[in-house]
Chains A and B, each alone.
Chain A
Amino acid sequence: MTKKIKEIAIYGKGGIGKSTTTSNISAALSDAGYNVMQVGCDPKSDSTNTLTGGKSIPTVLDSLRKGRGALKVEDVIFEGFNGIHCVEAGGPEPGVGCAGRGIITAVEFLKQENVYEEYSPDIVLYDVLGDVVCGGFAMPIREGVADQVYTVSSADFMAIYAANNLFKGIKKYSTGGGALFSGLIANSITFGAQKEILEDFTKQTKSTIAGFVPRSLTVTQAELSGKTTIEASPDSEQADVYRKLAKDIYNNKEEYVPSPLESDELKDWAESWSDKLLDLKKQEEGDFKI
């Protein structure tokens, strides 16, 4: 009997740290003894770079281009840090073609080729460009792909905006058996106010926070050397943060449909925080900086 594979999709606005977070979760889970696969679903194709020593790997779409019939699964699955199976969907050059269709094609290929049966991972993490700009980027949350969705977000408005859009996508597909939401990963948290903003956002959208990841130089250093924090600084505090996050995510059973805010509601909510921040700034001048 085929074992139940945990498949989760991690979305986040470009540059928000979702690949860093995902790769560290993968590394932590792998360290803990799980068989992990990470699938980068971003045409930039750099999701797994820190798992492969900073090197880019050939993508599913690059290989498909060379001839669908000739493509073997082993051409697109590469072993990264601690035996993590790394896959990059790939995509077109910026400004041409349709990256969304690329994601659909790549994910379909992996499903059709029974990759998961063959490699038998305990967990598959899809690292997805999080603006959900079209149906292609919603592919991992449709029925039959991921079970749980997380979003990486900072307290910046545009990151929250992207998270809110993701909630809309989840809500849309939820009626057809699509993936459900399991929590927001609060990233780059430095100040108390940032934490409060995200907590308030999850309250407004009837969602939850899966974990907080503080901003840290250790992460930057590790990335510059082409590694995850787990690999580069296993004894650091930040590595512990990722280990805890990975464990929480693996054990997280929460799955629900969040309640996205309408654009006007989101705007009003953001404005209310703008006022609060100004007050805070006045109160904590010198301590709190925007």
Chain B
Amino acid sequence: MSKDEKEHIDESSSPRIVEAPRYGCTLSGAYEAAVGLNEGVPILHSGSGCGMSQLFGANYGGAQNAPGDYGGSSTPCSCLVEEHVIFGGEDKLRKLIDSTIKISTGEFFTVISGCVPSLIGDDVDAIVSEFRDKAPIIHVNAPGFKGNSFEGYELFFEALADQYLTPSSEKQKNLINILGIVPYQHIFWKGELKAIKDLLARLDIEANVLFGEFDTVEKIQKIPSAAYNIILSPWIGHRAAKKIEDKFETPFLSFPGIPIGPIQTTKFLRKLAEILPIDKTKLEELITSEERRAYRQIEYAGDILQFDVPNVYFGVVADSNTAISVSRYLTDEVGQLPDIIIVTDNPPKEYRENILKELTGSEEIGFTPDIVFEIDSYKIGQILKDRPFLNLYASSLESVIKDELETTHVTVSFPSYNRVVLGDNYVGYDGGSSLIEDLFYDKAGPL
């Protein structure tokens, strides 16, 4: 690899100061999961600022999304102050949960403990247990200092498995759970999950995607019945999958990211067909017709792709999931050349080799891009300077330096303050075409 070990940064043990990392604290990830559930009610046991910062940091940063009825400024919070630090906040939390369950029309309650109760040792598990017969409720012990948003996402699933789910008597062979896409943190989460679900439904596979779905409680309860957990990330959701495997004997299969474009999508479906009851004839028919359609569709972009700059260099600044899927699509299917890929979600060291392998696995070009694991936005800005790429797939943080970098900018990763994403996504046979559409949004003009 062109970059050496020093770029393998373990932020959790690093004392360095970082400018604008592209994720929040552990509480943030647990909150994102809790409000990512439709009718999911987060109950924060924390200082009041912990909730408000999620509104601006996680929700608005997550492609300018409002968090709905139960998140943001409507989040029930124990708003701990000095009195609770000294004497404990258990009593206030008890009253908060009680009143929330009484007045809320939500369906699933997630109590999230922040830094204060974790430091002073509030027995939140005991308080939450008092309400188990009153509403579907879990406690995620997620002190912010424990890690980042992705840690919070894993803790959410671990809490679900330990506190709420019960083993199913029988596995449902055509049912799978989808893991690895973190609400808000992966800015296309709603669209991606729905697209995966719709794609698999065409092959009679039911994808239980949980987030953004209705009938939340029923969907959650189905988790142990799934035949497989399918992870769409090279590292996020892996702990959750292992937990569910330990508890409910559900095996898991991991993909490096969401499938973008025909090559990745076909590979994804064929791999699933090896383990799931997918009708092979039906699968091949789907692949043939979808590939034909998708390739005909992208042909319409053939001229502009060539008139612009053929085999243009591109850069990527994104979380691992997005970085892998976007880079490989552009390299393998569009003929663009990866110049630099900056991975921003700080994957643990043990997963990095595999991420590098996925990023450099293309046989379409005879060289490898520079790959950097970096979480500091200032450093990312510096690294991007004086490079040959003309297109940059990154976050809104890079959009402000696009003139300086003399690049076309497409926001594909967190944070996305300059792009509203409701259902947009790049999943599946049409996903690649959508990415190309976005690339030329303000490049193809002006008249």
The number of residues on chain A lying at the interface, defined by a beta carbon within 8 Å of a beta carbon of chain B, is 14
Q: What chain A residues lie within 8 Å of B120 (beta carbons)?
A: 96-98, 101
B301: CB under 8 A from chain A?
no
Q: What chain A residues lie within 8 Å of B90 (beta carbons)?
A: 96
A101 to B119, CA, bound (A): 11
A92 to B83, CA, bound (A): 10
Interface residues of A in 27-74 (CB under 8 A from B): 61, 64-65
Q: What chain B residues lie within 8 Å of A97 (beta carbons)?
A: 84-88, 120
Interface residues of B in 70-123 (CB under 8 A from A): 82-88, 90, 119-122
A96 to B119, CA, bound (A): 11
Known: A96-B121, A98-B120. A105 touches B87 (CB 8 A): no
A102: CB under 8 A from chain B?
yes
A64 to B86, CA, bound (A): 11
A183: CB under 8 A from chain B?
no
- The closest CB in chain B to the CB of A43 belongs to B86
Interface residues of B in 118-156 (CB under 8 A from A): 119-122
- The closest CB in chain A to the CB of B85 belongs to A101
A260: CB under 8 A from chain B?
no
Scan A198-218; emit 1 where CB is below 8 A from any B CB, else 0.
000000000000000000000
A254 to B267, CA, bound (A): 79
A97 to B119, CA, bound (A): 9
What is the CB-to-nearest-CB distance from B67 to chain A, in angstroms, rounded to a whole number?
31
Task: Please tell me if the beta carbons of B122 and A96 are within 8 angstroms of each other in the complex.
Answer: yes
Q: What chain A residues lie within 8 Å of B86 (beta carbons)?
A: 61, 91-92, 97-99, 101-102, 105
Task: Please tell me if the beta carbons of B82 and A96 are within 8 angstroms of each other in the complex.
Answer: no
Q: What chain B residues lie within 8 Å of A99 (beta carbons)?
A: 86
Q: What chain A residues lie within 8 Å of B82 (beta carbons)?
A: 101, 105
Scan A69-107; emit 1 where CB is below 8 A from any B CB, else 0.
000000000000000000000011101111101100100
A245 to B273, CA, bound (A): 86
What is the CB-to-nearest-CB distance from B113 to chain A, in angstroms, rounded to a whole number?
14
- The closest CB in chain A to the CB of B120 belongs to A98
Task: Please tell me if the beta carbons of A96 and B88 are within 8 angstroms of each other in the complex.
Answer: yes
A65 to B82, CA, bound (A): 10
Q: What chain B residues lie within 8 Å of A61 (beta carbons)?
A: 86-87
What is the CB-to-nearest-CB distance from B121 to chain A, in angstroms, rounded to a whole number?
7
A97 to B123, CA, bound (A): 10
A61 to B84, CA, bound (A): 11
Interface residues of A in 94-123 (CB under 8 A from B): 95-99, 101-102, 105
Task: Please tell me if the beta carbons of B85 and A98 are within 8 angstroms of each other in the complex.
Answer: yes
- The closest CB in chain A to the CB of B86 belongs to A102
Scan B273-310; emit 1 where CB is below 8 A from any A CB, else 0.
00000000000000000000000000000000000000
- The closest CB in chain B to the CB of A106 belongs to B86
Interface residues of A in 170-193 (CB under 8 A from B): none
Q: What chain A residues lie within 8 Å of B88 (beta carbons)?
A: 92-93, 96-97
- The closest CB in chain B to the CB of A134 belongs to B119
A183 to B429, CA, bound (A): 79
What is the CB-to-nearest-CB distance from A94 to chain B, in angstroms, rounded to a whole number?
11
Q: Which of B83, B119, B121, B122 contacts A65 (CB 8 A)?
A: B83
A96 to B124, CA, bound (A): 11
What is the CB-to-nearest-CB distance from A61 to chain B, in angstroms, rounded to a whole number?
6
Q: What chain B residues lie within 8 Å of A64 (beta carbons)?
A: 83
A91 to B87, CA, bound (A): 7
- The closest CB in chain B to the CB of A97 belongs to B88
Scan B246-290; emit 1 where CB is below 8 A from any A CB, else 0.
000000000000000000000000000000000000000000000
What is the CB-to-nearest-CB distance from A97 to chain B, in angstroms, rounded to a whole number?
4
What is the CB-to-nearest-CB distance from B124 to chain A, in angstroms, rounded to a whole number?
12
Q: What chain B residues lie within 8 Å of A95 (beta carbons)?
A: 121
A249 to B356, CA, bound (A): 67
A96 to B122, CA, bound (A): 7
- The closest CB in chain A to the CB of B91 belongs to A96
Q: Report 17 cross-chain contacts, Cβ distance below 8 Å, ordered by A residue.
A: A91-B86, A92-B86, A92-B87, A92-B88, A93-B87, A93-B88, A96-B88, A96-B90, A96-B121, A96-B122, A97-B85, A97-B86, A97-B87, A97-B88, A98-B120, A101-B82, A105-B86
Sort A-B residue pairs by CB-CB distance and give the 10 closest, nearest first.
A96-B88, A97-B88, A98-B120, A102-B86, A97-B87, A92-B87, A101-B85, A97-B86, A101-B86, A98-B85
A residues at B contact (CB < 8 Å): 61, 64-65, 91-93, 95-99, 101-102, 105
Known: A64-B83, A105-B82. 17 other contacts (CB 8 A): A61-B86, A61-B87, A65-B83, A65-B87, A91-B86, A92-B86, A95-B121, A96-B88, A96-B90, A96-B122, A97-B85, A97-B88, A98-B85, A98-B119, A98-B120, A99-B86, A101-B120
